[in-house]
């Protein structure tokens, strides 16, 4: 998931994602044709695409996942990176992330950035990753144990190919003033967020999340009325430092930073399904 820095990875900006402790597991063996045993929507196209990208022969792949699909928490990146780790366990994490980005673009036709795949491949427990999407340089940024990452399901599930995602990207690349205002201000917020993490200024983290949501709502126009209502409700709950729409938008999920000692209070008050997460290590191979 991305803590802050939304819709700027594919424009070469800096972002702050983290791998979370919800896992996708893939196991497989060679076969005559590609096949997937999975409840992940579109799993076969993803698996075939990353296999072909890596030059692997056909496989039968079994997938299980704790990552909810179509909610903005990178279920597709988790699937792709898990399969890539199994097919090419010796591959460098950044190389694998780039291969998975290309595979997802081919499988879906959506011109996704590389951020989700980098977080899934290279995440570190107890840290977020400050990633420069132009140079692909990254550094681990400590993330406080006192903060729980809450993912709130808006109930509005979507397939990105059916949303204006690609249109928003084209507008930003064409320097549409409103879209670029979001991009420039969001990049500044990423740096401010990292500084606030270093100072352990949780209130400032929350203020930056609120600004990010307002920018995504008003300047990038990827929010919805339902999402806005949930975000605004979260802002008023004790123990919640801040919240915003997360992922590509157009529904999906809301991210909130919550005092770890008040997670139950928050979940009861928000009145929706909440997934509480912690940072985690990225992809690995479990030998049996």
256 or 66, which is more confident?
256
> Hey, which residues are catalytic here?
116
Above 80 in pLDDT, residue 126? yes
Structure tokens at 126: 């107890």
Q: Which of these, 14, 8, 2, 17, lies nearest to 172 by C-alpha position? A: 8
Query: Mind giving me the DSSP string for the chain?
Result: -EEE-TT-GGGT-EEEE--BS--EEEEEEE-SS-EEE-SSTTHHHHHHHHHHHTTPPPEEEEEEESS-TTSSS-HHHHHHHHHHHHH-TTS-HHHHHHHHHHHHHHHH-----SHHHHHHHH--TTEEEEEETTT--EEEEE--TTEEEEEEE-S----GGGTTHHHHHHHHHTT-HHHHHHHHHHHHHHHHHHHHHHHT-HHHHHHHHHHHHHHHHHTS----HHHHHHHHHHHTSTTEEEEEE-TT-SSSEEEEEEEGGGHHHHHHHH-S-EEEE-B---------
pLDDT tens string 95-118 = 999 999 999 999 988 888 899 999
Above 80 in pLDDT, residue 283? yes
Q: Determine the average pLDDT of the residues in 80-87.
A: 96
Above 70 in pLDDT, residue 37? yes
Above 70 in pLDDT, residue 282? yes
Mean pLDDT, the chain, rounded, equals 93
Above 90 in pLDDT, residue 73? no
Above 90 in pLDDT, residue 60? yes
Q: Determine the average pLDDT of the residues in 74-89.
A: 94
Strands 59-65 and 35-37: parallel
pLDDT band at residue 125, thresholds of 50, 70 and 90?
Answer: very high
Contact 123, 22 (CB under 8 A): no
The predicted pLDDT at position 222 comes to: 93
The Cβ of residue 77 has, within 10 Å, a number of other Cβ atoms equal to 27
Give percent above pLDDT 90 in the chain: 81
Q: Where are the domains of the chain?
A: 24-132, 143-277
The predicted pLDDT at position 70 comes to: 67
The predicted pLDDT at position 40 comes to: 63
**CATH 3.40.50.970 at 24-132, yes or no:** no
The predicted pLDDT at position 101 comes to: 96
Fold (topology level) of 143-277: Alpha-Beta Plaits (3.30.70)
Asked if domains 24-132 and 143-277 share a fold, the reply is: no
Above 90 in pLDDT, residue 163? no
CA 197, chain centre distance (Å): 19
pLDDT tens string 243-254 = 999 988 888 899
Tell me the pTM: 0.91
Q: Picking from 12-16, 53-57, 63-67, 267-271, which range would have the lowest pLDDT averaged per residue?
A: 63-67
pLDDT tens string 178-236 = 999 999 999 999 999 999 999 999 999 999 999 999 999 999 999 999 999 999 999 99
Above 90 in pLDDT, residue 286? no
Above 80 in pLDDT, residue 264? yes
């Amino acid at each position: 998931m991305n803590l802050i820095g939304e819709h700027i990875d594919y424009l070469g900006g800096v972002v702050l994602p983290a791998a979370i402790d919800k896992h996708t597991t893939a196991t497989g063996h060679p076969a005559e044709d590609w096949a997937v045993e999975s409840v992940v929507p579109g799993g076969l196209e993803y698996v075939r695409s990353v296999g072909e990208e890596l030059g692997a022969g056909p496989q039968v792949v079994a997938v299980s996942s704790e990552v909810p699909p179509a909610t903005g928490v990178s279920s597709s990146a988790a699937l792709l990176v898990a399969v890539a780790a199994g097919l090419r366990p010796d591959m460098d994490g950044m190389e694998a992330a780039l291969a998975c980005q290309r595979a997802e673009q081919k499988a879906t036709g959506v011109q996704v950035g590389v951020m989700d795949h980098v977080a899934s491949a290279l995440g570190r427990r107890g840290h977020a990753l400050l990633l420069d999407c132009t140079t692909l340089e990254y550094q681990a940024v400590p993330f406080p144990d006192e903060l729980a990452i809450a993912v709130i399901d808006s109930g509005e599930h979507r397939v990105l190919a059916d949303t204006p995602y690609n249109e928003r990207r084209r507008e930003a690349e064409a320097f549409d003033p409103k879209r670029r205002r979001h991009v420039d201000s969001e990049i500044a917020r990423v740096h401010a967020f990292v500084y606030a993490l270093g100072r352990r200024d949780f209130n400032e983290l929350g203020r930056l999340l609120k600004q990010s949501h307002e920018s995504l709502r008003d300047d990038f126009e990827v929010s919805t009325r339902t999402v806005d209502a949930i975000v605004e409700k979260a802002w008023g709950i004790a123990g919640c430092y801040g919240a915003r729409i997360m992922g590509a938008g157009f529904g999906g999920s809301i991210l909130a930073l919550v005092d770890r000692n008040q997670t139950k209070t928050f979940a009861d008050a928000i009145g929706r399904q909440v997934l509480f997460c912690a940072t985690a290590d990225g992809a690995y191979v479990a030998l049996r």
